[in-house]
Amino acid sequence: MSSIIQLLPDHVANQIAAGEVVQRPASVVKELMENSIDAKATDIKLVIKDAGKTLIQVIDNGAGMSVTDARLCFERHATSKIRHAEDLFDLHTKGFRGEALASIAAIAHVELKTKQDQEELGTHIIIEGSKFVSQEVAVLPKGTSFLVKNLFFNIPARRNFLKSDSVEMRHIVDEFQRVALAHPTIYFTLIHNGSEVFNLPASNYRQRIVNILGGKTNEKLVPVTEETEIVKISGFIGKPEFAKKNRGEQFFFVNNRFIKSGYLHHAIMSAYEGLLKEGNQPSYFLYLEVPPHTIDINIHPTKTEIKFDDEQSLYAILRASVKHSLGQFNVAPVLDFERDPNLDTPYDYKDKDSSTPLIQVNANFNPFATETKTKSSGSSVSYASKSNHFPKKESASWESLYVDLKTDTEEVASISFESSAVTGSLFDENEVEKSTTTYQIHKKYIVSSIKSGMLVVDQNKAHQRILYEKFLENITVHSASSQQLLFPLHLYFSTEEIEFIKELQPSLENTGFQFDEIHSDSIQISGIPVNVQESEVSIVLEELISNLQNEIPENSFSLNDGIAKTMAKSLAIKTGTSITVKEQENLVNSLFACKDPNVSPFNKPTFITLSVEDLDKKFAI
């Protein structure tokens, strides 16, 4: 029998490797930007067209490459970072395996322009699907420019699995933000379809966070600092009152590399215990510095997961540091019976010198001078002539103030007033009892009698169905009513969330929202849907962004369906809310007027029925 095992050609092996390294356009962005950082660049520009499907270009002013390096960088496992196996446990750079450029070149059209500072001319290389098309000398500025076009052009199945432009662009923005937050001293620029999305000049960590997430972020941040032999922690956490439903503003950086860690996230949530509402997530931007030999980065293809040598100690230190910062800045409550909070010194004034207050006294002021007031010129003027146009009757003594008071009170006492107390009800009590057909149990279920037995309705799920069909009809028919606000409502969001709201604006306006202005970090709303309270607007929008942020359906109807579901869930009557008999009856009647009253928008039953036979069986002996 002949041998059946054979070596794969290089271009096939590269395409297989690309499946692990390059999952979507955002993967290319991450790899190319990290290469620019390793090249000591101080200015990095990212240019995107059609969410990376047509063009991804990264331009930097880094060290550049020689002619030989420019050619070798596209070979598999060609790297300048690793010499021995031990080097894998002492990494100080981003890329090290030498797979990224080879994988990208295998599934796209790649154009490389690079030049070193000491060289007069640079190198221009064109590769299409791992095949070198041309290599020539060119006049170029210092640095490197990687241009990736037509991603997955030779793997149409992978290209068809890409999501819509809005979803893919959101993943690119996520990768861009992670790299930019880790390196605030580098100037970053992001341009999408000719318009500038981010322009982040070199700054410090706090300013970089504010530049990315919006101007109002600064007041939400609480600094965290701790240094031990195991780890050095720095960064910022968000105040509990600014916590959100989604986890979009949570970042861990280990040695300037973004990571995901459910274990460390649990440490943060433990520190916030008792300070957050149920379901809310705090914001945090934490930078951890650990010795490189105590971590293993090479356990995941995207290098977003890290294995720590001593996770338990790291957990304890991180939790204590966050809890200490919350207490130090008076964010967390303090239990101290001998402490007077009025004597606390604000943190900003702790190290400042106190200034002696200046006291000014008018030596000529006489509080007992009731008849005359001395002017600076020496003349006197009567109070009565200045403050009153009518002569004031002088009282001989304080007893004269109560003269004739007795007769006045007697006259007043003889006058009868109509009582404002409610002595009756709008409906007769017997009539109310007869008309009462619904009852609320545990502020959760509504029970009503029917001919065959008993009906039990879940008030929350039933109201979700009612609101869902109403919102969906308003969006599709464009017939929503809007209540105008007396004063416009200003809400602040991050740049990414603002872009998301712009995409949803037409559908939101069909539900009753009216947007006056949309800025880079805030929106102004002048009208809201009729059944939405002003205090609920920010909650509704945050939950809408949280639920639809990761996957925006390409179908317009599906997007509208998602908006209707999210708004219905946010505005439905919550479990634990007491409602009147009239409201109960109206809820039941509105439910059975729906097109599909049996299930909620999330396919949960809205009601159940118990027949008389079922009840009889419960009491059978």
Q: Beta partners for 192?
A: 48, 195
CA torsion through residues 39, 148, 162, 43, sign: positive
- What is the amino acid identity at position 322? V
Cα 509 from Cα 515, distance rounded (Å): 8
Contact criterion met (CB below 8 Å) for 524 and 488: yes
Which token pair is 487?
């004063």
pLDDT digits (tens, 9 = 90+) for 532-578: 888 888 888 887 877 766 555 544 457 778 888 888 888 888 888 88
List, in order, residues 6 or more apart from 121 with CB less than 8 Å away. 115, 137, 138, 139, 140
Cα 475 from Cα 612, distance rounded (Å): 42
CA torsion through residues 545, 549, 553, 554, sign: positive
CATH ID of 205-328, from 3.40.50.920, 2.40.430.10, 3.30.230.10, 2.40.240.10: 3.30.230.10
Distance from the Cα of residue 34 to its chain's centroid: 25
Which token pair is 550?
């990761």
Cα 139 from Cα 403, distance rounded (Å): 107
Closest to 167 measured CA to CA, from 550, 547, 557, 502: 550
Phi, psi of 224 (to 5 degrees): -130, 125
Question: In Å, what is the CA distance from 344 to each residue of 349, 350, 479, 597?
Answer: 10, 9, 56, 58
CATH ID of 10-200, from 3.40.50.720, 3.30.565.10, 1.10.10.10, 1.10.3720.10: 3.30.565.10
Cα 607 from Cα 459, distance rounded (Å): 9
Which token pair is 201?
């000049």
Which token pair is 171?
């993943």
**Residue 316: its H or E element:** helix 311-328
Which token pair is 320?
């204590």
Bin 529: left if φ > 0, else alpha if -120 < ψ < 50, else beta: beta
Beta strands in 194-246 (DSSP E): 195-200, 221-227, 232-238
Closest to 226 measured CA to CA, from 175, 312, 286: 286
Which token pair is 391?
């002569």
Cβ atoms < 10 Å from Cβ of 204: 9
Cα 101 from Cα 6, distance rounded (Å): 25
Q: Are strands 284-289 and 250-254 parallel, antiparallel or unpaired?
A: parallel
Coil, strand or helix at 522: strand
Q: What is the pLDDT of residue 402?
A: 57
Helices assigned H by DSSP within 39-149? 67-72, 100-106
Whats the size of the chain, residue-wise?
Answer: 621
Q: What is the pLDDT of residue 17?
A: 58
| Percent with pLDDT over 90 in the chain | 22
CA atoms within 13 A on the CB side of 343: 3
CA torsion through residues 282, 288, 293, 297, sign: positive
Cα 298 from Cα 184, distance rounded (Å): 25
Residues of the chain with pLDDT under 70: 1-2, 6, 8, 10-21, 77-98, 215, 298-303, 330-351, 370-436, 548-557, 621
CATH ID of 440-608, from 3.40.50.300, 3.30.1370.100, 2.30.30.170, 3.30.420.40: 3.30.1370.100
Q: What residue ranges of the chain are covered by domains with CATH 3.30.230.10?
A: 205-328
Q: In what order do the strands lie in the sheet with 232-238?
A: 221-227, 232-238, 284-289, 250-254, 257-259
pLDDT digits (tens, 9 = 90+) for 239-257: 888 888 777 788 999 888 8
Q: What is the pLDDT of residue 400?
A: 58
Q: What is the pLDDT of residue 137?
A: 92
Q: What is the pLDDT of residue 186?
A: 94
Q: Output the pTM of the full model.
A: 0.69
Q: What is the pLDDT of residue 249?
A: 85
Closest to 286 measured CA to CA, from 323, 247, 236: 236
Distance from the Cα of residue 387 to its chain's centroid: 59
Q: What is residue 272's DSSP assignment?
A: T
**Residue 528: its H or E element:** strand 522-529
